[in-house]
Chains A and B, each alone.
Chain A
Amino acid sequence: MTTIIRASLLAVLASGLLSVGCATPPKPRELDALERLRLDPDMPVARKRAPDLCKKADKAFSAATAKWQSNDLVESVNNALLGQIFFRNALALVKQDKANARIADAEDALSTIGEEREKVQKDLDDTNEKIGLLQKLSQSKAEEARKNEEMKALEAQMEADKKANEEKLAQEKLRAETADKVSEAELAIKTAETVNAAKYAPELYRSAVQILAKAQGELQAGQMQQAQASAAIAQKTAADATAMAKPSYDRDSQAEENRKKADGLFAQASGIPGVRTRRDMRGSLQRIIITIPADLLFVKRQTVIAPGKDMVLDPVAELIKKKEYQNFPVQVVGYTDTRGSTTSNLALSGARAQSVFNALVTRGVDVRRMMASGQGGAEPVADGRTAAGRASNHRVEIVFLYQ
């Protein structure tokens, strides 16, 4: 038993000594690194991609391992480093391939994306173009609607303006008509004033003026209907005033005219030599009397105008025939003194008047304007008790009558 134990102990000791003598040194870290490289996930790919390099690396790995196991660490490290280089070289090629693949994928993706983007961009451009057209269309419609609104507003404005103008025109027309009426009333009053209605028809005239003033006030106040009515009344009243005043006015006017004519006639008559001229009034009649002494025409108590003594009648006849005195009636009146009988005096004065009458007719005086009469010894002009007075009372008077 002891022999067996001793033998066993010797065997263990021997094996221990053997194992210490043949002990493998620690694995170089380069070899560790190489082993890790061999386990790289990309290694299968690397082996396919670069089989020669991997074969060299494997060979270097085997050599490194062997050298390590044979305690030749320097050679082991050299081989391990070489193996690493070969493996890393192979892995670099794989990395290159991967990078190339990534580049290719990226380029494919870029191409695809580019195509898609081109398509999407085209769709976007088309859509934007349509949007642009739609916006223009929308703007156009909005513009059209705006213009339509403006047109409607303009038409409404024009219609309103037209209406306003028509109303204004109607008002203007009414105002013009009213103004015409008022003017007519004013004219009627002016007409009334031409016949001096203020004097000859004062109440009517004042009434017309007052009504006209009222019409003018109403016209100013825009009360056209009232103004027209007032103007019509004023016009009518003024016309009435005119109608009322006109006869008096005409009469006075004629009288005034006759007075002026008579003044002229008197002045001219006063210029005839040998005669006397005077004026008087009898009733409403005015008279201009040219007195021709009997001895200027007759010899003694004769009734025929003595030859050569009728020259005094020439200027008298010319005066009577003057146009401006055509409307003056003329009386040829003979007078005597109061001696003798009235009958004989009337006969003598009448005959003498008739002789002068005839002489005037002979000189062209219109017979229709004259009348002859004898007044005998009536209306003496001088004292009949003296010879000179009696001679003065023998006379023929040419009497112009007017109002």
Chain B
Amino acid sequence: MTRHTTMFLFLAVLAAPVMARAGEADDLQRQIDYLKQTTNDLERQDDQKAVATEITVMRSWLDNAWNLRSQEKYEEVRIILDRCEAQAHMVRQLLIAATLSAQADAKEDEVKRARAQLARTKKALENAKVQKARLEGKV
């Protein structure tokens, strides 16, 4: 081993933890950015404003994570990001539930209308039968 090689290895050993931390910070930043983008996407999908609170909370969490990352509290950031991932998943399920509930409401309204229509048709049938009986009596 040459002296230069030895020096290189020595410096590499010294720089490794620093480089590792720098990579972790970038990785967390990408995750934060990704989750922010996810938050925006979820907000766009929330046309009923069913999960507005959850999205607001998630944004505040991400802001907190961003601050903690700046403070290089990576472990705490990771915990918050895990929670945000779970929150994003939950929000998706809530959005689906809200959408399905809205569809169910619409369907039930449709059922109500159909029942009302059926009732009107039945009433019309009753009236028609009365009219028919009267006409049969006349004819």
A residues at B contact (CB < 8 Å): 78, 81-82, 85-86, 88-89, 92-93, 95-96, 99-100, 102-103, 106-107, 109-110, 113-114, 116-117, 120-121, 123-124, 127-128, 130-131, 134-135, 137-138, 141
Q: A99-B100, A131-B128, A134-B135 are in contact. List 14 more A-B contacts (CB 8 A).
A: A78-B83, A82-B86, A95-B94, A96-B96, A99-B103, A110-B110, A120-B121, A120-B125, A127-B125, A127-B129, A134-B132, A138-B135, A138-B138, A138-B139
Cross-chain contact A110 with B125 (CB below 8 angstroms): no
Query: Given A85-B83, A88-B90, are A110 and B111 also a contact pair (CB < 8 Å)?
Result: yes
Cross-chain contact B97 with A99 (CB below 8 angstroms): yes
Which residues in B have their C-beta under 8 angstroms from that of A93? 93, 97
In the assembly, what is the distance between CA of A130 and CA of B130, in Å? 12
User: Least Cβ distance of B42 to chain A in Å?
Assistant: 13
Is B41 in the interface zone, CB < 8 Å from A? Answer: no
In the assembly, what is the distance between CA of A78 and CA of B73, in Å? 15
Cross-chain contact A124 with B97 (CB below 8 angstroms): no
B residues at A contact (CB < 8 Å): 79, 82-83, 86-87, 89-90, 93-94, 96-97, 100-101, 103-104, 107-108, 110-111, 114-115, 117-118, 121-122, 124-125, 128-129, 131-132, 135-136, 138-139
Query: Given A86-B86, A92-B97, A95-B101, are A131 and B132 also a contact pair (CB < 8 Å)?
Result: yes
Query: Given A82-B83, A114-B114, A124-B128, are A135 and B96 also a contact pair (CB < 8 Å)?
Result: no
A-B complex: 6 closest residue pairs judged by Cβ atoms = A99-B100, A106-B107, A102-B104, A92-B93, A134-B135, A95-B97
Cross-chain contact B129 with A137 (CB below 8 angstroms): no
Cross-chain contact B121 with A103 (CB below 8 angstroms): no
In the assembly, what is the distance between CA of A81 and CA of B97, in Å? 21
Q: List 7 A-B contacts (CB under 8 A).
A: A88-B90, A95-B94, A99-B104, A100-B104, A110-B114, A127-B128, A131-B135
Which residues in A have their C-beta under 8 angstroms from that of B96? 92, 96
Cross-chain contact A96 with B90 (CB below 8 angstroms): no
In the assembly, what is the distance between CA of A77 and CA of B131, in Å? 73
Query: Given A82-B83, A106-B111, A127-B129, are A89 and B103 also a contact pair (CB < 8 Å)?
Result: no
User: Least Cβ distance of A138 to chain B in Å?
Assistant: 5
Cross-chain contact A117 with B121 (CB below 8 angstroms): yes
Cross-chain contact B139 with A124 (CB below 8 angstroms): no
Query: Given A89-B89, A102-B108, A124-B124, are A116 and B118 also a contact pair (CB < 8 Å)?
Result: yes
In the assembly, what is the distance between CA of A82 and CA of B87, in Å? 8
Which residues in A have their C-beta under 8 angstroms from that of B139? 134, 137-138, 141
